[in-house]
C-alpha cells in the first residue's frame, strides 16, 4: 500500500511539469510527511485543460453518509479497481495523478518495532502516482463537500518486495495523457509495477512513524 509520501516540488514547478493550471488553494509545500485524510495536490484533465487542484486523500464513496461510514479508502488495488463498487465508476471516468517526490513503507525488526524506509525514483525524477477520484458531499448543518481520491497500487517489484508487497502505480510522462483520458481509452495496461531498478530506497529515522513529524530530516538516510 501507500500510506505516507513526500512532495517537495513547488506549485509552479508542478504546474510546469504537467502543463497544468494550478489552483490558488493548493496545500503548502514542501511536505515530508503527507498523511491520509489531508488535502493533497492532484492533476486532473477536463475539456482539454489540465488542472492542479487539491483533494482529500481518502476516497469517500457517494453512499457514505459520513467520511467514517466505512473503511478509509486511501488505496485502490489495480487488480480489482475496475470491479469494486467503490472504485469502478471513478476508474472509468475520473482518473487523476498524484505528484510525489517519494513514499514510505515499513519493515519490522525482531522485536516488532516498525522501521521506516523512503522510496523514490532511481533517476531522481518526480513521481506521478496513478489515482482515481470521487466527489462527495453531505448536506446539513455541518455540510462537507469536495473531491476525494485514492492512489492505485499494484504488486511490488522483486527489489521492493523485500520491504513491502505493494507499490503505487508510477506513471511515465508518455502515459499521463492516456491515464487522464486525453488519449482515448485503454488505460488498464498502465497499472503495472515499475521496471526492476527504477526505484531506490533507504532506511530513515523512526521519527516519521508519527504523523505529526515534519521536516527534511525525515527523508535523510540512516544506517540500516
Residues designated catalytic = 2, 105
Cα distance between residue 139 and residue 152, in whole Å: 29
- C-alpha distances (whole Å) from 74 to each of 115, 121, 142, 149 are 21, 21, 23, 7
Query: Beta strands 75-77 and 144-155: pairing type?
Result: parallel
Q: What are phi and psi of 205, to 5 degrees?
A: -65, 150
CB atoms within 10 A of CB 30: 14
Amino acid at each position: 500500500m501507500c500510506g505516507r509520501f513526500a512532495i517537495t516540488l513547488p506549485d509552479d514547478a508542478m504546474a510546469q511539469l504537467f502543463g497544468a493550471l494550478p489552483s490558488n488553494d493548493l496545500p503548502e509545500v514542501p511536505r515530508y510527511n503527507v498523511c491520509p485524510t489531508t488535502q493533497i495536490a492532484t492533476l486532473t484533465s477536463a475539456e482539454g485543460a489540465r488542472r492542479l487542484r487539491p483533494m482529500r486523500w481518502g476516497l469517500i464513496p457517494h453512499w457514505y453518509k459520513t467520511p467514517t461510514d466505512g473503511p478509509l479508502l486511501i488505496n485502490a488495488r489495480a487488480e480489482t479497481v475496475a470491479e469494486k463498487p467503490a472504485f469502478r465508476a471513478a476508474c472509468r471516468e475520473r482518473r487523476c495523478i498524484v505528484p510525489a517526490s517519494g513514499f514510505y513503507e515499513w519493515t519490522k525488526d525482531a522485536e516488532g518495532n516498525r522501521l521506516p524506509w523512503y522510496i523514490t525514483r532511481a533517476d531522481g525524477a518526480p513521481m506521478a502516482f496513478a489515482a482515481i477520484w470521487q466527489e462527495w458531499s453531505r448536506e446539513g448543518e455541518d455540510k462537507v463537500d469536495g473531491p476525494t481520491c485514492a492512489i492505485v497500487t499494484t504488486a511490488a517489484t522483486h527489489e521492493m518486495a523485500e520491504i513491502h508487497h505493494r507499490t503505487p502505480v508510477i506513471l511515465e510522462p508518455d502515459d499521463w495523457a492516456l491515464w487522464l483520458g486525453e488519449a482515448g481509452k485503454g488505460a488498464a495496461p498502465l497499472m503495472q509495477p515499475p521496471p526492476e531498478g527504477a526505484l531506490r530506497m533507504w532506511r530513515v529515522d523512526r521519527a516519521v512513524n508519527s504523523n505529526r513529524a515534519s521536516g527534511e530530516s525525515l527523508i535523510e538516510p540512516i544506517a540500516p
